[in-house]
Amino acid sequence: MSVYSFTSCVVSSLVSVVDWNMRNIDDQEFKMVFDQGGSVFEAVRIANSSFDNCGMSLSKRPSRMSSVRDVVVSNCKVINSEIGPTVFEDVQVEGLDVNPILLLWSCFYKRVCLVGKIGKIRVNIEPSAFCTDAGVLAEFAERRAAFYSSVDWALDISRARFVDFACKGVPLALIRRDPETQVIVRKQDFSGVDMLGTQFASAFPETHTRLGIFGESIAEEALLVVPLAAPRKRREDWVGGIAELRRLGIVSG
């Protein structure tokens, strides 16, 4: 396995569309590769490769969002890396090992499909951690609304088996999902964890915690995903919790 470890000046040429167009990348290890935004990654096939301490589109402005189009990633690994504001279009990820978590910040998605075993993923609406700049947040919100107004579907997670998955900022109506293990809960049906009682908290602590976070948020709906690739105890927590929510009429698929 060869190792790519680049300084920032080399990265600038690596991420250019000329260098990446129509490339097939297999069995490579990328270390400390950073894209500062404004790049285009197009028609790339990446397989059996790893990204260690890397970052994509590390910009806090929507005008500097990198674009990823017509890309297939299969059986790759991500270690201590993150993805800043990026536009993903026609992307398929088939199996992704993540250590410990992959954070995606204010990314936009159009026909992005996740398949197979996928590690811990958190899709955030903010462009960066602890972002409180009202102007920046408003600019992203405006761009996000305009982007999704013409999207037929954003994400397809129906065939993914996650270790963990949480998603904010993507219209849930535009997410293709498995109605048995990936369900939507809405504030109109859920007034807070108090309505569930103490037995729910004891029997399904992880599901209860996630519902508590949703109940205290300003979001009107949330996606609950059974972590099918997680250890048995966690899977049973979510399967049982969602089954109880169905019995109570809080979720229906």
- Full-prediction pTM beyond 0.85? yes
How far apart CA 83 and CA 215 sit, in angstroms, is 27
At a CB cut-off of 8 Å and minimum separation 6, what does 106 contact? 62, 84, 85, 124, 125, 126, 127, 140, 144, 169
Question: Domain check: are 198 and 224 in the same one?
Answer: yes
Question: Domain check: are 209 and 113 in the same one?
Answer: no
Strand ranges (E), the chain = 2-5, 23-26, 28-31, 40-47, 50-52, 55-56, 66-79, 82-83, 86-99, 102-105, 108-124, 155-167, 175-176, 182-186, 221-225
Question: Domain check: are 45 and 78 in the same one?
Answer: yes
pLDDT digits (tens, 9 = 90+) for 97-155: 999 999 999 999 999 999 999 999 999 999 999 899 999 999 999 999 999 999 999 99
Instruction: Provide the mean pLDDT of the chain.
Output: 92
| Residue where one domain finishes, among candidates 155, 177, 199 | 177
Number of domains in the chain: 2
Question: Domain check: are 6 and 129 in the same one?
Answer: yes
Per DSSP, the chain holds a count of helices (H) and strands (E) of 6, 15
Question: Domain check: are 170 and 189 in the same one?
Answer: no
At 25, list the tokens.
Answer: 């990348």
Question: Domain check: are 38 and 18 in the same one?
Answer: yes
Q: What are phi and psi of 8, to 5 degrees?
A: -60, -30
70-74, 241-245, 248-252: segment of lowest average pLDDT:
248-252
Question: Domain check: are 156 and 219 in the same one?
Answer: no
Question: Domain check: are 61 and 173 in the same one?
Answer: yes
Question: Domain check: are 154 and 41 in the same one?
Answer: yes
How far apart CA 194 and CA 212 sit, in angstroms, is 9
pLDDT at 253: 74
CB atoms within 10 A of CB 60: 18
Per-residue pLDDT band for 252 (boundaries 50, 70, 90) equals confident
The CATH number of the domain holding residue 44 is: 2.160.20
| Residue where one domain finishes, among candidates 177, 195, 225 | 177
| Residue where one domain finishes, among candidates 177, 199, 214 | 177
Per-residue pLDDT band for 23 (boundaries 50, 70, 90) equals confident
Q: Which domain holds residue 154?
A: 2-177
pLDDT at 14: 44
Question: Domain check: are 17 and 105 in the same one?
Answer: yes
At a CB cut-off of 8 Å and minimum separation 6, what does 64 contact? 36, 37, 38, 57, 85
